[in-house]
Structure 1
Amino acid sequence: MFLPFLALAILLIFSPTTIATTPSEIKNSTHEIFNVKESIAQLDTKPQTPFENQEEYHVDNEIEQESGNLKLKLNLIHRDKLQIPHFPYNNDKVFEGRISRDLKRVSSIIHRIENGGVNYRVKEFGSDLISGMDQGSGEYFVRVGVGSPPKNQYMVLDSGSDIVWVQCQPCTQCYHQSDPVFDPSLSVSFTGVSCGSSVCDRVENSGCHSGRCKYEVMYGDGSYTKGTMAIETLTFGHTMVKDVAIGCGHSNSGMFTAAAGLLGLGGGSMSLVGQLGGQTGGAFSYCLVSRGTDSTGSLEFGRGVLPVGAAWVPLIRNPLTPSFYYIGLSGLGVGGARVPISEDVFKITELGDGGVVMDTGTAVTRLPSEAYVAFREAFVAETASLPRAPAVSIFDTCYDLDGFVTVRVPTVSFFLSGGQILTLPARNFLIPVNDKGTFCFAFAPSPSKLSIIGNIQQEGIQISFDGANGFVGFGPNIC
């Protein structure tokens, strides 16, 4: 299980050349002291939200609406905190399950990009056309009220998806979720979408059944959702957002266990970001709080949430896959020194391959093999004094830190476009994989030219998207 390490504060200091970190924990700019003992102790963290008590997690959501500008703030909860009926918590299975989900997530993202976002047919849906939105299930949940009166549901946060959907009654096939399945017949605000509506025109590969707009999405890991489109009210805290187009899934299967559905935050018009449009100015910000703590992360919408003092980097759009948020990455650093890797390794090709995607649903950052090998070897050279351990799952660089209280490790950095450098705290790249003191370098080679910056590397850093102006910001706040 990838639990957090010591609560290192991240003080992001921005200049043309650095986004520096944790002055209290770093002996110098090239190395820092990492608390091994505390990291292992946090592996004992159990789910904090048993089924009967999960309701408490939505009470602190905040909403402000002034002069037509909408500002939303929601709590983010990691899926490992949820405990649901029929699925008793088993700490020994958490690591294995997370790696399995992560492999499927990465495979599905690459599949989508390599197919240029085009649609494909799958056996499960017969001859129906299936949307090319084939991401995985994600790792973080938000609490959202669906319908009127609102029924609170946990929904997967997905920055690479362009649809909002929940499981709906009557359910011909539904997976287990932590809340009762949403019943649209009990909602006075639920309105079906007709086949000829503008909403149906915007749904990728929509169909028509009995006059109602039909949607079907097949994800790359074999998960799917299938049902009808509707206009519904979503409630965040105590404030309602009306007329949101959602998918009402009557047949669903896959890795979404615990969540009721998916809250898409991608770059398309049908994502929540796209639908809120002018109300939030295409702006949102999130903090993925570290695992193993009792606190929650946050997800905020609205231009008012964009921080002053962030390091802003241009977003790069790939027309073949407009749902994903690409950023410019020029290189990697270890121990304060830049690793010799060509910038071309991280660029999007004319065919739409490659590039660097920010993704909330992928846990472990993936890098093209050429970049990963050079990066890993630089890290290994700087940690030669630490005892090695055998490879674990997708991790080929692991250490036996049993018996250590602290260790000195090199800093790891992302060289971003425009000269910015994002230096990560050690807990974002050296992670415990068991309670026996085995820690691994939390990066892996990509099976393609695509790089994916995963949520382990994003933890604790405020990340903001200014879609209207085409920028992503890092910091300056911590979470």
Structure 2
Amino acid sequence: MTQSDIFINAAFDSISRAESFSVNIDQNSDETITIPNRGSYLMAFFVGTVPRGSLAMADTGSDLTWIQCLPCTKCYNQRIPIFDPRISDTFHFIPCGDNSCKRVRRNSCGNVGECRYVVHYASNSSTQGAVAKDTISFNNSYNGRIIKYPNTIFGCGYNNTGVFKPTGAGIFGLGGGPSSFISQHGAEFGKRKFSYCLLPFYYEQGSSKLKFGVDTQKNRIGVLTTPMVSKYPSTYYYLSLVAVSVNGIILRPDESPVGNIIIDSGTTTTFLKTSWYKKVEAAVLQAIGNQSVAVRYPIRPFRLCYKDGSIMNFPNITLQFIGAYIELKLSTLNTFITLEYDLDKRTVSFAKANCLKE
């Protein structure tokens, strides 16, 4: 696909994902978020005593990490070998009465008393299997050492169907719920804190960075920090977006801004409620003025499009968050930025960075 195709598909995936967030929040549904196609990020890790490499989508909108496991009842095609628990001496299933099982949403008892899990996605995809523990490890890019996290709770998926892509073996849960990797091991890497620096999705070389327990705010200028809001479900990271500014015109939501937006690594585009978005769109139209005429039939799902090269002065668009003393300025090129979550302080921080160098 071309870069345009990838971006359009990512926008449609983001719409589905945003709609599934609403279902979870408003109806206390057992359905979880949808699975994005492009615009997502795969993270590398190892599983087991003899470390077996794996790749899974890094997802701050999910809690339970799961990968496909042998023997499969029904597994989708994946490019890397499917994990075989029999080759790991440290692998063991969790009994359904164990406290670790209770940390997993929608757990149940299997035929031999093992803890079972099931996750349904809004894209008519699902994963089912047993809840287990094993050593999850990472290759430290700074010194080449393997960092191990024994007894990590994860899902061993035996029945996985839907729109999962062969590039990944599953989902790596970085959400705020009790079964996520962050909640399990935050104390072990010093603090429940992690950050990621994401390259634009169209980059074909270079890799994004994911750091655990590292204070990447030190010696950095222009860091914006805003508190996270505790809401149901605990998986999601809620922020409070007070206003959007377009060339200095302040545009506020009609409702209370407290906890009104979710920050999510698996959603490519940012969404506002319709009434708020229309204010922003009108301000953008006014800022651009008559120097260029918007395309009459824009490319779906976008509402406001201009011919390439027809805009001479792009409007300055900034975001204002509660508790932040500076605004987050959005680049005209993209909105991929450095994010940092501090779950002990319950804050999120933003700062500019060169993801290829850091």
TM-score, normalised to structure 1's length? 0.67
CA contact (8 A) 1:284 1:305 kept: no
Q: Paired residue for 1:173?
A: 74
Offset at residue 261 of structure 1 (A): 0.6
Identity over the aligned pairs, expressed in percent?
A: 28
Per-residue Cα deviation, 1:333-388 (whole angstroms, up to 9, x for no partner)? 112x133334635335xxxxxx1110111111111111100101111112231243
- Does residue 123 of structure 2 align to residue 213 of structure 1? no
- SS state at 1:231 partner: strand
- 1:169 is displaced (CA, Å) by 1.0
> Given that residues 167 and 174 in structure 1 are in contact (C-alpha distance below 8 angstroms), is that contact kept between their aligned partners in structure 2?
yes
Which blocks of at least 5 consecutive residues in structure 2 are unaligned? 140-145
Following superposition, the deviation at residue 109 of structure 1 comes to: 1.2
- Name which of 117, 129, 154 aligns with 1:227: 129
Question: CA 1:308 to 1:472, structure 2 compared with 1: closer, same or farther past 3 Å?
Answer: farther
Aligned-partner residue type, residue 267 of structure 2: T
* Aligned partners of 2:33 and 2:61 also within 8 Å: no
Unaligned runs of 5+ in 1: 2-42, 44-90, 120-131, 349-354, 429-456
Partner of 1:133: 32
Aligned residue among 346, 352, 372 for 2:257: 346
2:334 counterpart of 1:471? no
Counterparts of 1:375 and 1:307, CA distance in 2: 34
Look up the SS of the partner of 1:279 in the other structure. coil
For 1:315, which of 212, 228, 242 is the aligned residue?
A: 228
Shift of 1:99: 3.4
Q: Deviations over 1:400-419 (max 9, x none)?
A: 11xx3984311111011124
Structure 1 residue 240 displacement after superposition: 2.2
- Distance change (3 Å), C-alpha of 1:109 and 1:399: same
**Structure 1 equivalent of residue 85 of structure 2:** 184
Native 8 Å contact 2:254 2:275 kept in 1: no
1:200 aligns with 2:109: no
1:396 aligns with: 303
Aligned CA distance change for structure 1 residues 340 and 193 (closer, same or farther; 3 Å): closer
Q: Could you give the per-residue CA deviations for residues 291-313 of structure 1, whole angstroms, max 9, x where no partner exists?
A: 33322211100144454542211
For the Cα contact (< 8 Å) 2:292–2:310, is it kept in 1?
no
Aligned residues: 338
Give the alignment partner of residue 266 of structure 2, picking from 338, 349, 361.
361
Partner Cα separation in structure 1 for residue 102 and residue 155 of structure 2: 14
| Structure 1 residue matching 2:234: 3-state secondary structure | coil
CA shift digits 1:165-224 (9 cap, x unpaired):
001111111122221211112222211111221111211221111121111111122211
Runs of 4+ in 1 over 4 A off after TM superposition: none
Q: Which amino acid is the alignment partner of residue 153 of structure 2? A: A
Bigger fraction of residues in helix: 1
Instruction: Specify which of 316, 325, 333 is matched with residue 427 of structure 1.
Output: 333
Offset from partner CA, 1:421-465 (integer Å, 9 cap, x none): 10111012xxxxxxxxxxxxxxxxxxxxxxxxxxxx3x1x22111
Could you tell me which residue of structure 2 aligns to residue 23 of structure 1?
none
Answer yes or no: is the 8 Å Cα contact 2:35–2:123 preserved in 1. yes
1:247 counterpart = 2:127? no
In structure 1, distance between residues paired with 2:104 and 2:202: 38
Q: CA contact under 8 A between 1:331 and 1:339: conserved in structure 2?
A: yes
Residue 157 of structure 1 aligns to which amino acid in structure 2? A
Structure with higher RCO (Cα < 8 A, 6+ apart)? 1
What is the SS of the residue equivalent to 1:409? coil
Q: Which has the higher strand share?
A: 1
Alignment map for 1:91-106 (pairs within 5 Å): 94-106=6-18
Query: Post-superposition shift, 1:277?
Result: 2.5
Q: TM-score by structure 2 length?
A: 0.88
Alignment of 1:1-400 (within 5 A): 94-116=6-28, 118-119=29-30, 132-137=31-36, 139-209=40-110, 210-237=112-139, 238-257=146-165, 258-280=167-189, 281-293=191-203, 294-309=205-220, 310-318=223-231, 320-335=232-247, 337-342=248-253, 344=255, 346-348=257-259, 355-384=260-289, 385-389=291-295, 390-400=297-307
